[in-house]
């Protein structure tokens, strides 16, 4: 079995709020306190906080680890610890091989140097010889798509140009480990797709990847496992569908005080079994709900919304618009509902939101977000979000045969 190339073993990292020292009178006691304190036993000071808490994971050759979580959860800090920009407070890290890192836009670029000069600078930082960098130079410039500006100082580059050049350098100077932060979000769609295709090539070549992103579709498509970082909580590491579903539920769960959810379930409409794992496109689903109203809601219709984990709303429908009758709810009334629908969507993690809506708009909608979720897992479609079930009828007319058929003999 292959040994892990990237490993976090019980890593903790703390920061201090507003750390600065205006005089030796402040600095000397602070240094003395750090030298005499015992890291494992000393509690946090009032102005300290944990950014990473007990983080452990491994990435083996050819694997990709996705790192997700809300802003401030420590995603970029984890990558900076991996690159040894930051030192962990506790725990151990191991990274074997030459690291190609793209953590911040233009990180490591000298603003007064040109793009050409920064390519050679970054290569030298990665430990590459000048002739090796020269051999890859044209590929880097071609991938970045900025040949007309390669001799322009990078301080005059846009953020997108910086991201293009930074990724091109990290991806072409023969890295043995690749660390990527959310910098790809600034690029245009075509460049992003090119980057993701390049990351897939790295995986096939056996290069491990640690990938921070808010794009859940990119995480689902690229990664073998995911780590969810959460402020003031231990991380969750596991399979992609399970961790993405946990993230989506924790991020979106909210219930209107006018509704109490007594029970909810999502079942396969064919077998009647609970949906417990990934499904295929076109699977019929039954959502069963038991809700109790805490106040009056007359003329109500039931709205269902399906939202992909990256925020794309793929469907919104309402019972009254599809021919259903309005219902009147009074305080303590219980609503039992079943919504049957077909999951004609492609791979991804989806959450289900429901609302009770007044057809006359006299009272605001009562929403229950993330009442259920499901994961679609398939590999046959290239891209998109909807399953259109195409069929193909292809015919070839031979130009030579047609030309021969039209020859007339007199």
Q: Are residues 59 and 195 in the same domain?
A: yes
Q: Are residues 270 and 182 in the same domain?
A: no
Whether residue 28 has pLDDT greater than 80: no
Residue where one domain finishes, among candidates 246, 273, 300: 246
What's residue 22's pLDDT?
47
Which CATH number fits the domain that encloses residue 85? 3.40.50.300
Beta strand 177-180 with 99-102: parallel, antiparallel or unpaired? parallel
Averaged pLDDT for residues 192-200: 84
Q: Are residues 43 and 182 in the same domain?
A: yes
Which CATH number fits the domain that encloses residue 331? 2.70.50.60
Mean residue pLDDT across the chain:
85
CB 369 within 8 A of CB 311: no
Question: Quick check: pTM over 0.85?
Answer: no
Q: Are residues 72 and 134 in the same domain?
A: yes
What's residue 183's pLDDT?
64
Q: Percent of the chain scored above 90 by pLDDT?
A: 48
What's residue 318's pLDDT?
96
Q: Are residues 264 and 242 in the same domain?
A: no
Number of domains in the chain: 2
Whole-number Cα distances in Å, 223 to 65, 119, 212, 382 = 6, 28, 11, 17
In total, the chain counts a number of residues equal to: 410
Q: Are residues 225 and 337 in the same domain?
A: no
Angle between helices 115-125 and 130-144 (to 10 degrees): 130
Q: Are residues 236 and 263 in the same domain?
A: no
What's residue 321's pLDDT?
94
Whether residue 219 has pLDDT greater than 90: no
Q: Which residues pair with 237 in a beta bridge?
A: 227
Please tell me whether residue 137 adopts helix, strand or coil conformation. helix
CA-CA-CA-CA dihedral for 108, 110, 116, 121, to nearest 10: -50
pLDDT in tens, 85-135: 889 999 999 998 888 777 765 567 899 999 999 999 988 887 788 999 999
Whether residue 78 has pLDDT greater than 80: yes
Averaged pLDDT for residues 380-392: 87
Q: Which domain holds residue 28?
A: 6-246
Q: Are residues 208 and 103 in the same domain?
A: yes
Q: Are residues 46 and 77 in the same domain?
A: yes
Whether residue 357 has pLDDT greater than 90: yes
Please tell me whether residue 300 adopts helix, strand or coil conformation. strand
Residue 20 falls within a domain, yes or no? yes
Listed range (168-182, 286-300, 311-325) with the worst mean pLDDT = 168-182
pLDDT in tens, 46-68: 778 899 999 999 999 999 999 99
Residue where one domain finishes, among candidates 213, 246, 279: 246
Averaged pLDDT for residues 369-376: 87
What's residue 36's pLDDT?
56
pLDDT in tens, 262-312: 999 999 999 999 998 889 999 999 999 999 999 999 999 999 999 987 778
Whether residue 29 has pLDDT greater than 70: no
The sign of the dihedral angle between the CA atoms of 162, 168, 171, 174 is negative
Angle between helices 130-144 and 159-172 (to 10 degrees): 140
Can you tell me the distance from the alpha carbon of 12 to that of 258, in angstroms, rounded to the nearest whole number?
42
> Is pLDDT larger for residue 49 or for residue 21?
49
CA angle 172-176-177, nearest 5°? Answer: 100
Model confidence at 12, pLDDT cuts 50, 70, 90, reads: very high
Q: Are residues 165 and 271 in the same domain?
A: no
Q: Are residues 199 and 264 in the same domain?
A: no
What's residue 107's pLDDT?
62
Averaged pLDDT for residues 186-205: 82
> Is pLDDT larger for residue 59 or for residue 348?
59
Can you tell me the distance from the alpha carbon of 160 to that of 21, in angstroms, rounded to the nearest whole number?
37
Listed range (114-118, 182-186, 374-378, 391-395) with the worst mean pLDDT = 182-186
Residue 384 falls within a domain, yes or no? no
Averaged pLDDT for residues 24-46: 55
Q: Are residues 86 and 190 in the same domain?
A: yes
Beta strand 313-318 with 254-255: parallel, antiparallel or unpaired? unpaired
């Amino acid at each position: 079995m292959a040994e892990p190339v990237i490993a976090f073993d019980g890593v903790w990292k703390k920061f201090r709020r507003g750390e600065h020292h205006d005089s030796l009178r402040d600095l000397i006691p602070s240094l003395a306190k750090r030298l005499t304190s015992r890291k494992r036993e000393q509690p946090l000071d009032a102005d300290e906080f944990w950014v990473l808490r007990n983080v452990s994971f491994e990435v083996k050759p050819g694997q990709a680890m996705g790192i997700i979580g809300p802003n401030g959860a420590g995603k970029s800090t984890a990558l900076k610890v991996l690159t040894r920009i930051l030192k962990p407070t506790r725990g151990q890290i191991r990274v074997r091989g030459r690291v190609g890192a793209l953590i911040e836009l233009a990180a490591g670029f000298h603003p007064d140097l040109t793009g050409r000069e920064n390519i050679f600078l970054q290569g030298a930082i990665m430990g590459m010889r000048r002739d090796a960098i020269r051999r890859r130079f044209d590929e880097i410039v071609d991938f970045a798509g900025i040949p007309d500006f390669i001799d322009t100082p990078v301080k005059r580059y846009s953020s997108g140009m910086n991201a293009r050049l930074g990724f091109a350098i990290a991806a072409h100077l023969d890295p043995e480990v690749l660390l990527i932060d959310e910098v790809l979000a600034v690029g245009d769609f075509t460049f992003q797709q090119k980057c993701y295709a390049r990351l897939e090539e790295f995986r096939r070549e056996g290069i491990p990847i640690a990938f921070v992103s808010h794009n859940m579709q990119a995480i689902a498509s690229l990664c073998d496992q995911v780590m969810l970082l959460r402020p003031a909580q231990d991380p969750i590491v596991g399979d992609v569908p399970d961790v993405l579903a946990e993230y989506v539920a924790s991020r979106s769960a909210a219930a209107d005080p006018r509704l109490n959810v007594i029970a909810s379930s999502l079942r396969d409409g064919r077998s009647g079994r609970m949906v417990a794992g990934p499904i295929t496109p076109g699977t019929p689903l039954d959502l069963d709900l038991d809700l109790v109203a805490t106040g009056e809601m007359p003329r109500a219709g039931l709205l269902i919304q399906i939202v992909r984990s990256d925020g794309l709303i793929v469907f919104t429908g309402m019972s009254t618009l599809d021919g259903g009758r309005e219902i009147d709810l009074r305080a303590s009334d219980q609503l039992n509902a079943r919504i049957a629908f077909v999951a004609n969507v492609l791979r991804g993690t989806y959450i289900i939101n429901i609302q009770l809506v007044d057809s006359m708009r006299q009272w605001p909608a009562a929403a229950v977000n993330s009442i259920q979720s499901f994961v679609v897992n398939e590999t046959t479609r290239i891209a998109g979000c909807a399953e259109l079930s195409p069929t193909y009828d292809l015919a070839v007319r031979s130009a030579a045969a047609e030309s021969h058929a039209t020859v007339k003999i007199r």
